[in-house]
């Protein structure tokens, strides 16, 4: 059963995109919840770029790729697969430019603070959770996987485990080319904000809004990491992007990561954005630091097996989160 409520967030209010501060919150209650007084661990599912929580819960049915309702993905985990029951909370992290990336930004909103200080307390207050870090986990795909890393590796006092599924990483390889793709797509016109239907423009402005926001640079309030029209890399701006890159910030977060009960990295071997290389590098750094983690690769591309990997992540998470208060 999925319960839908709305949640007002002071941490999203006043964002420069003018996106709403009241957001959907969906909570999946596992089989047996209504008939017991048991308390449950909670897994927070963070959605990907270009997707809202509502679209994840009830996907559109008229597109080129069909996806099942998320309840149809979660139910078999706790019924057919026999995984011990957990609550799954699905907060909304969408923005009009694609995704808040689950980081704090004056342009898109303070999504990390919203998750920590609005969503988690609301879920703990309304449902029979085990309100402790060791019984809370984060998982998500693509931008949701990146968000799971960002929030989980920074806040081990709130979350005890994270599963990063095909998450944005190794930006020097996987993202640096994007501004050039964007500029090629509009040449010789100068950049003038995101263009509907132009994926390169949408990605570049969304990432810039989250990684290199600039409230003093209207009307789009971002610093782009590549100069127009020369194509020169603006290293100071690019360094701001890299500060969010898991393969970069892992070295400064080792102390936090050692406090986690579990870390899972999973990516497709044929990821369209080559994110598997970031996962491989991140796993190497964790191994070198002596931090235990689960590292798996599947035979899929970017997104083709996302629902299956959600199930795999929940099965893994049930083994590392505490099920008793």
Spell out the domain ranges in the chain. 2-169+245-320, 173-242
Q: Which of 143, 138, 28, 59 is nearest to 93 (CA)?
A: 143
Distance of CA 270 to the CA centre of its chain: 20
Average pLDDT over every residue of 89-114: 97
Element (H, E) at 179: helix 178-186
Residue 192: its pLDDT value, please?
Answer: 97
Residue 63: its pLDDT value, please?
Answer: 66
Q: How confident is the model at residue 64 (pLDDT cuts 50, 70, 90)?
A: low
Average pLDDT over every residue of 52-58: 94
Residue 80 has pLDDT above 90, yes or no: no
CATH number of 2-169+245-320: 3.40.50.1820
Residue 273: its pLDDT value, please?
Answer: 85
Report how far apart, in Å, the C-alpha atoms of 220 and of each of 18, 143, 205 are. 12, 21, 8
Residue 277 has pLDDT above 90, yes or no: yes
pLDDT tens, residue by residue, 237-262 = 999 999 999 999 999 999 999 999 99
Contact 121, 145 (CB under 8 A): no
Would you call 59 exposed, middle or buried from its count of C-beta atoms within 10 A (0-12, 13-18, 19+)? middle
Q: How confident is the model at residue 303 (pLDDT cuts 50, 70, 90)?
A: confident
Spatial neighbors of 87 by CB under 8 A, at least 6 apart, are 27, 28, 29, 30, 33, 40, 41, 42, 43, 123, 127, 128, 129
d(C-alpha 77, C-alpha 261), whole Å:
21
Q: Which of 42, 41, 2 is nearest to 25 (CA)?
A: 2
Q: How confident is the model at residue 325 (pLDDT cuts 50, 70, 90)?
A: confident
Percent with pLDDT over 70 in the chain = 99
Contact 17, 209 (CB under 8 A): yes
Residue 68 has pLDDT above 90, yes or no: no
Average pLDDT over every residue of 17-44: 96
Average pLDDT over every residue of 107-133: 98
pLDDT tens, residue by residue, 203-239 = 999 999 999 999 999 999 999 999 999 999 999 999 9
First to last CA, the chain: 23
Q: How confident is the model at residue 301 (pLDDT cuts 50, 70, 90)?
A: confident
For 170, the token pair is 């190794």
- For the full predicted model, state whether its pTM sits above 0.85: yes
Report how far apart, in Å, the C-alpha atoms of 139 and of each of 172, 244, 273 are. 24, 17, 20
Chain position carrying tokens 């890393």: 149
């Amino acid at each position: 059963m999925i319960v839908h409520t709305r949640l007002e967030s002071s941490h999203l209010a006043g964002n420069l995109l003018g996106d709403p501060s009241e957001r959907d919150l969906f909570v999946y209650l596992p089989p047996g919840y209504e008939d017991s007084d048991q308390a449950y661990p909670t897994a927070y599912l963070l959605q990907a770029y270009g997707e809202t929580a509502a679209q994840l819960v009830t996907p559109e049915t008229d597109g080129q790729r069909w996806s099942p309702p998320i309840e149809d993905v979660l139910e078999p985990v706790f019924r057919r697969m026999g995984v011990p029951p957990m609550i799954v909370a699905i907060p909304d992290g969408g923005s009009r430019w694609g995704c808040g990336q689950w980081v704090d930004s004056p342009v898109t909103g303070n999504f990390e603070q919203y998750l920590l200080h609005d969503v988690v307390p609301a879920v703990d207050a309304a449902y029979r959770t085990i309100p402790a870090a060791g019984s809370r986990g984060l998982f998500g795909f693509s931008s949701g996987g990146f968000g799971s890393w960002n929030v989980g590796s920074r806040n081990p006092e709130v979350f005890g485990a994270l599963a990063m599924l095909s998450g944005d990483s190794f930006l020097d390889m996987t993202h640096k080319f994007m501004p050039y793709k964007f500029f090629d797509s509009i040449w010789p016109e100068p950049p003038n904000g995101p263009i509907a239907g132009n994926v390169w423009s949408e990605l570049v402005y969304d990432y810039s809004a989250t990684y290199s926001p600039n409230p003093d640079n209207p009307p789009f309030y971002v610093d782009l990491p590549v100069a127009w029209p020369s194509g020169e890399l603006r290293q100071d701006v690019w360094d701001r992007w890299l500060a969010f890159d898991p393969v970069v910030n892992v070295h400064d977060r080792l102390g936090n990561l050692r406090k986690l009960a579990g870390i899972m990295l999973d990516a497709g071997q044929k990821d369209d954005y080559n994110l598997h290389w970031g996962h491989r590098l991140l796993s190497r750094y964790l191994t070198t630091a002596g931090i235990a983690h689960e590292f798996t690769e599947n035979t899929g591309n970017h997104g083709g097996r996302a629902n299956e990997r959600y199930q795999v992540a929940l099965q893994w998470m049930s083994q590392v989160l505490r099920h008793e208060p």
